[in-house]
Amino acid sequence: MKKLLIALALCMAMVQTAFAQTVTVEGVGVDRDSAMRDAARMAVEQVAGMYLNSDTVVSNTSVELDEILTHAQGYVQNINVLSESVSGGEYRVRASVDVNTDANSPFMKRMDAVMRLSDPRIGVVILTDDNDSQNYYEAATTRGHDTILETALNERLLTVGFKHVVDVSLLSQLQDSAVLNAVYRGDSRLPYGTNTADRPIDYLVIGRSHADGYAIKIPDNHGGYVTSPMSSARTHLDLKIISFGTSTIIGTYSVEGQGVENTPELARRKSRQAAAVKAAEKLEQQFLKAAANAFSGIQLTVRANDFSLVEQLVKELKGLRGVQDVYVRGTNAGKTTIDIASSQKPFTILQMLQRTTNLSIFVESTSDSELKITLR
């Protein structure tokens, strides 16, 4: 019986540490409690560093990382003090710390959000009416897509460092040409469910391309011109970048690429690839800019039977620090959609609001860019 109890205890210990990363750190403080808190913060910072490289930890993630470290103790499973001492008014603790790294833990969810700031999931859709915009082996589901440009853009995005470039041909939500054309024309209804987990990508790069071929004429030394056996082409590409979190356009621009080859088909292909290179460079700049302002747009959904409660909420939101403006987009069946222009994160907005309001707020859900509440 005793052996069985020991075995059970060992199994429980293994379960507790199976999804934990253990690190040894030293915490410093004015007393033991503050030294232990510092040790927890140092451990969480060290584990976070294991998931982030030097390219990821840039200014655009610093705010989010600071928020993680502020709540470091909540991410720690266990602290085993190895030694402690007092010297020169400082209390020092050397400890072995277990940080919860289970995939569903709050820490890992926050780390996933941080990593997506610099390396978001990107889907590229390029629409076209050109007949030669597809590789001959492409499936019928990609008709109406410029798969040559899509492939070239995906390859360029991977080359410049984005690791989560999604093949849109594998996403059922992005196969309806009618929906995609409507999105390109400005329809804000993106093809995904209301659940954040249903979203296959963080950003949709959607555009329209058109390639024109030109004959190359050269002087014939007799005052005229002759047509060269080489062919020239120019591809014009218009692009929009849409955030799947807020359904907002975060960037729009146009590029052109030129190509010269032995045949008109090869020239158009080369011009598409040249356009893709220019577009990828602009995309990289735009995504870094978006990451630096990752929380500039928050979508708030409010359920309330009395609209006067919503009016009071809007007034109080406008008075919060870091809120630039509040837009009421519409109300239907007791549900109001509000956009908040702010550099703050949704849960920070919620915390500030709860400190000052006399409204009764029930939180339904929260994410990196959305907040759903009920007012009672």
CA 335 to chain centre: 27
DSSP 88-150: TTEEEEEEEEEEE--TTSHHHHHHHHHHHHHS--EEEEEEE--TTSS-TT--GGGTTB-HHHH
82 Cβ contact partners less than 8 Å away, ≥ 6 residues apart: 24, 94, 95, 96
β-strands 370-375, 297-303 pairing: parallel
| Structure token pair of residue 242 | 């849409």
Angle between helices 106-118 and 59-70 (to 10 degrees): 170
Contact 235, 246 (CB under 8 A): no
pLDDT in tens, the chain (376 residues): 544 444 444 444 433 444 778 889 998 888 898 889 888 888 888 887 776 644 444 444 454 556 566 677 788 889 999 999 998 878 999 999 998 888 777 777 666 655 655 567 888 988 887 665 554 334 433 567 888 888 888 887 887 667 788 887 766 556 666 667 677 776 655 555 544 455 677 788 888 998 888 888 788 778 777 778 888 999 999 998 887 766 677 788 899 999 999 888 899 889 988 998 898 888 877 776 665 554 456 888 999 988 889 999 998 998 887 777 787 777 788 888 888 877 677 888 888 888 888 999 998 888 777 888 999 8
Q: What is the spatial distance between Cα 357 and Cα 151, in angstroms, rounded to a whole number? A: 51
Kindly report the backbone phi and psi dihedral angles of residue 84, in degrees, each rounded to the nearest multiple of 5, phi listed first: -150, 150
Record: fold of 297-375: Alpha-Beta Plaits (3.30.70)
Among 285, 288, 214, which Cα is nearest to 56's? 288
Give the start-to-end residue ranges of the domains of the chain. Answer: 2-117, 120-292, 297-375
What CATH number was assigned to the domain covering residues 120-292? 3.30.160.150
The one-letter amino acid code at 331 reads T
